[in-house]
Amino acid sequence: MDYGIRYSTVQRSAMQVDPRFGDDVNPELLQKSKRVTEKFSENIQVVANEPSLALFRIQEHVRKTLPQLVEKRHEVQDLQDKVQGSSFDADYDTHAVKVIHNSATHFQNIQDLLKNSMFMKQQLHYEHQRKEAINRNPGMYNKLQRTNTLDIPVSINTTDGDIEVASVQQAERPRSSSVNVKTTKERGGSGK
């Protein structure tokens, strides 16, 4: 506005000094010209200062929004890290489940071996109890001692095939003792 005031002051002083504008200057014309020069100087000032005003407004906008944008960027980076970590965990877990699923045959073999070992343990326990009963009452079991037979089926799983021992018979006879081992093929049967 400082330039506009100077311009109107210069114009007014020029009008008053100039001899052409002597005493017959119309005050109404003077007032209208003064108003026009003030408006003109205001418009020139606005046009001259408009880029700096726009840059000032942009600067204020950036100053206000930049901290919020930086904070949001950090939040997005944290979320991205968490999502990547969760994705890695999910991939690792699915891989572990697939590996466990592929090892089902090993678990099946372990289960079969456990069943066989439990059966053997039961047979040994039964035989142990029977021998204890014979030792406690020897007269009652004299006839059974001569025909004492123990049948234990044993099966072993291998990758080449099944080997099965059908039975192990132990006969206690007064003169001799023998152990007979028959395989499945000797008996004419097949494995499992």
Q: What is the pLDDT of residues 11-31, one digit of tens each?
A: 555 555 455 655 566 888 889
H/E stretch holding 168 reads strand 162-172
Is the pLDDT higher at 16 or at 77? 77
Sequence-separated (6 or more) residues with CB below 8 Å from residue 150: 123, 127, 168, 169, 170
Report the mean per-residue pLDDT for the chain.
74
**For residues 70 and 28, what is the distance between their CA atoms, to the nearest angstrom?**
61
Question: Could you tell me what percent of the chain has a pLDDT over 90?
Answer: 33
Q: In terms of Cα–Cα distance, which of 170, 165, 169 is closest to 155?
A: 165
Q: Are 4 and 42 in contact (CB under 8 A)?
A: yes
Coil vs helix vs strand at 50: helix
Model confidence at 184: pLDDT above 50? no
Is the pLDDT higher at 83 or at 144? 83
Is the pLDDT higher at 182 or at 138? 138
- Report pLDDT for 181: 45
- Report pLDDT for 52: 77
Distances (CA, A) of 168 to 19, 87, 131, 152: 149, 58, 18, 6
Is the pLDDT higher at 44 or at 81? 81
**For residues 167 and 155, what is the distance between their CA atoms, to the nearest angstrom?**
10
Query: Is the entire prediction scored with pTM above 0.75?
Result: no
Q: What is the pLDDT of residues 123-158, one digit of tens each?
A: 999 999 988 888 887 665 555 555 555 555 555 555
**For residues 116 and 163, what is the distance between their CA atoms, to the nearest angstrom?**
14
Q: In terms of Cα–Cα distance, which of 190, 189, 182, 118 is closest to 151?
A: 182
Is the pLDDT higher at 55 or at 152? 55
